[in-house]
């Protein structure tokens, strides 16, 4: 008799990181139930798995979940990526962000608790640290600078509260600057890779914020997924770990690897000069470490650049209009 393969639930599993999490789980012998309302995700990100029983997509909003939800029945692990991102829309629509990222998380927690899952791993954000000292360890003070960062941190607080009160086994991964294939192609002005890739396809200059010497702790998406699986498999619970490369690279280096001209746009308030994950704890606790170099990761993205052909094409003027609220709200008070 063939053994029944274990089941995992991935919320936001048709999105950028979530779809790579699904790939890893299937490769490791799991069946996967994906919950994604396809506002930010794409069903095509899962299409290569075919129409068989390995991957089942449910197109609901996580706020529609309830204890006893059939998709969670028998699940060993839950990986919670679903939510809404971006800085500017969070400043303009804070209620939506707190609703999706905090209340939505509570719905997932309750469904997982009722199902008696072995572990839930929450996708947190390094934005909780704010304008942090670097390298940034998990013990750094929490200083969210805008509603998106606050909402993701409050989701993490909720997850740990369920661990404390209800004994739900929970771990959290604080993601630094994830990049890779299948990153978002639509929606508000956002992450640098999507903006630059569409500009390259359009033969337009890259819009570099400030002088481009700011550094980001870029981590390739498959390494992120490996970190989440390690956080599920460990007997430890109630822990938060940073996931980054621990090797920040400048935006100018990214421009050099992508190849093209650049124009410079104003530096923005509330953005750090450097993000730099101290990954000592996750290396020590879980034996995890990044495998994909920045140069190799950028080459992989360039090989799949056609994915971004339908993404918005930004320029200095449209970015200025899209980020006006950012400057108006987060600029230092006189």
110: tokens are 């309750």
Dihedral-angle region of residue 99 (phi above 0 means left; psi in -120 to 50 means alpha; beta otherwise): alpha
Tokens of residue 31, six digits: 């069946």
* Residue 166 annotated as catalytic: no
In contact, 308 and 194? CB cutoff 8 Å: yes
206's enclosing H/E stretch is strand 206-209
Maximal CA-CA distance, the chain: 72
| Contacts (Cβ under 8 Å, ≥6 apart) of 122 | 80, 105, 155, 156, 159, 170, 171, 172, 173
Considering 129, 146, 148, 307, which one is annotated as catalytic? 148
Give yes or no for a contact between 285 and 233, defined as CB atoms under 8 angstroms apart: no
DSSP state of 6: P
Give 21: exposed, middle or buried? Use CB within 10 Å, 0-12, 13-18, 19+.
buried
* Residue 18 CB partners (closer than 8 Å, separation 6+): 10, 11, 12, 34, 36, 41, 79, 81, 82
Residues 6+ apart with CB under 8 A from 186: 40, 310, 311, 312
Cα-flanking dihedrals φ and ψ of residue 82, to 5°? -60, 145
> How far separated are the first and last CA of the chain, in Å rounded?
72
Cβ-proximal residues to 52 (8 Å cutoff; 6+ apart), any chain: none
Helix (H) or strand (E) holding 111: helix 104-115
Please give the positions annotated as active site. Answer: 148
């Amino acid at each position: 008799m063939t053994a029944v393969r274990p089941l995992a639930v991935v919320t936001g599993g048709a999105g950028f990181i979530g779809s790579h999490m699904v790939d890893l789980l299937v490769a490791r012998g799991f069946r996967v139930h994906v919950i994604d309302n396809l506002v930010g995700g794409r069903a095509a990100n899962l299409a290569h798995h075919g129409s068989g029983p390995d991957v089942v997509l449910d197109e609901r909003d996580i706020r529609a979940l309830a204890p006893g939800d059939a998709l969670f029945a028998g699940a060993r692990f839950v990986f919670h990526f679903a939510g809404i991102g971006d800085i500017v829309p969070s400043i303009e629509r804070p209620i939506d962000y707190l609703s999706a990222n905090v209340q939505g998380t509570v719905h997932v927690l309750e469904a997982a608790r009722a199902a008696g899952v072995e572990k839930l791993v929450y996708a947190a954000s390094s934005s909780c640290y704010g304008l942090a000292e670097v390298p940034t360890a998990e013990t750094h003070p929490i200083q969210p600078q805008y509603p998106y960062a606050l909402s993701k941190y409050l989701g993490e607080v909720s997850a740990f509260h369920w661990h404390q009160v209800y004994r739900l086994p929970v771990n959290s991964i604080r993601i630094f600057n994830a990049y890779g294939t299948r990153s978002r192609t639509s929606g508000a002005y956002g992450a640098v890779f999507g903006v630059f890739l569409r500009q390259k396809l359009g033969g337009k200059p890259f819009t570099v914020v400030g002088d481009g010497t700011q550094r980001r702790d870029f981590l390739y998406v498959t390494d992120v997924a490996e970190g989440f699986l390690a956080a599920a498999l460990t007997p430890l619970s109630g822990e938060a770990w940073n996931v980054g490369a621990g090797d920040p690279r400048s935006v100018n280096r990214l421009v050099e690897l992508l190849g093209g001209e650049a124009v410079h746009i104003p530096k923005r308030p509330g953005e750090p000069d450097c993000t730099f994950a101290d990954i000592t704890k996750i290396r020590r606790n879980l034996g995890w470490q990044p495998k994909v170099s920045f140069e190799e990761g950028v080459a992989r993205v360039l090989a799949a650049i056609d994915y971004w052909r339908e993404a918005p094409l930004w320029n200095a003027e449209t970015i200025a209009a899209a980020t006006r609220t950012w400057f108006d709200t987060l600029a230092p008070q006189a």
